[in-house]
Every structure is written in structure tokens, then in C-alpha cells.
Amino acid sequence: MGKHGLGHAFASLLKRDLVLAVRNRGELINPLLFYVIVAMLFPLGVTSDPKTLATMAAGVLWIAALLATLLSLDNLFRSDFDDGSLELIMLSPHPGVVLVLAKVLAHWLVTGLPLLIATPLLAVLMAVPDDARATLWLTLALGTPVLSLVGAIGVALTVGLRRGGALLSLLVLPLYVPVLIFGANAAGASAAGLPVTGQLYMLGAFLVLALSLAPLATAAALRISID
């Protein structure tokens, strides 16, 4: 297939997933609601002191973003597997890696992008210092695509199981830990006036590594699951 055909297939699959997400508004808004509710309840349940909140805000927002992404992962391939369209996608003459990347991009646009949009307001609510807000947003911009890419591997491995949610969490959460550590640490260090270049470089490296390897692993796992 030529490049035009591959690009058309990528765009068509991306558009299809986005349209389905818009039609299922409940599934679309659940991760964002979870993220906002956690951020709003934390000051009420722990402390409303701005200084204390500022020291914990980055970690809380990062954990909330991680769990919100995990909450939405099961929908990545489940509906396609149930109606048989996943098998057609993997039998397409186009490279499965590219088609998987289209689905992961759609997942991030539906899940990760709304979290990024809501983060500045939630950072103000949680008394994140002005200097640290941009760093927090940047770490989430680098980290949330990694969460979607790595999570896609776990979903691909468990999509054939009827109740794979618990197994999915066990598979994915250990892989999320390095991203969580560097993301939260960068925002916390920025709030303390410390340099954060190293942490941002590490998050960038995680993103490049995930973009390079995760689609390959996901496509291979999907072929195993549909056989």
C-alpha cells in the first residue's frame, strides 16, 4: 500500500474512534470527572492549608491522572473485540502498528487531553505555586501519552478475558511507577525552586521509548488475543 492509503487508514480509524467516543458521552466524561473530583475532595479531606497543599498537590494530581487513565483503558479495544471489528483491523493490509497508534492517539485525545485542559484550574485550586504550574502541566503533557501507550499493551493482553480489569491493573501499574515518580518529582522540585531538567529529559525519553516499542508490543499482543 502507498503512503496515501496508509495515511487515509490512520485518519479514518482515528476519526471513527473519536466519533464513537463522542456518541458515548458517559465513557468520555468519566475519567475527567474522576480527575476533578479527586482534586476537589483532597483539600476537604486532608487539609486546606495552602502551604501543605502546595507540597502534596503535584503528587495528588499525578496519581489522579494515572488512575483516571487506568479507568478508561478497558474501553480502548473492548468494543472492537466484542463486535469483531478488532479482527478486521488486525487483518487489514495496512501495518497493525500504525493502526494501533491511531487507536492509542484517539484514546489520549479523549482521555489525556481533557486532563491537561483541566490541570491549570485544578493547580490553582490546590495552591500550586505559579512557577510550578507550567512544570506540572509539561510533565503531564509528556507523561499522559506514555500512560496511554503502555496501557495499550496491558489492554491488548487482557482484551480476550471476560474480567480482565484486575489483571490489567496488575500488569500496567508497575510500568506506570517510573513515569509517576519523575512526573511528580519534577513538579515538586519546581515548587521548591530546584532544577527539573533531568526529570523532564527522563519523561521525554520514556515518551520516545514508548512511541518506539509500545505499538509493536500492542499489535503483537492483539494478534495473540484474537487467535
Count Cα atoms within 13 angstroms, Cβ side, for 130.
0
All three cell numbers of 8? 487515509
- Integer Cα distance of 125 and 165 in angstroms: 32
Range of the domain at 10: 3-226
Q: What is the pLDDT of residues 100-134, one digit of tens each?
A: 999 999 999 999 999 999 999 998 888 888 888 89
- SS3 category, 119: helix
- Integer Cα distance of 118 and 101 in angstroms: 25
**Structural domains of the chain, count:** 1
Q: What is the pLDDT of residues 78-107, one digit of tens each?
A: 878 777 788 888 877 888 889 899 999 999
All three cell numbers of 103? 487507536
- SS3 category, 74: coil
- Integer Cα distance of 189 and 57 in angstroms: 12
Q: What is the pLDDT of residues 134-181, one digit of tens each?
A: 999 999 999 999 999 999 999 988 887 776 667 888 889 999 999 999
The predicted pLDDT at position 36 comes to 92
- SS3 category, 145: helix
- Integer Cα distance of 100 and 217 in angstroms: 10
- Residue 34 contacts residue 66 (beta carbons within 8 Å): no
All three cell numbers of 20? 464513537
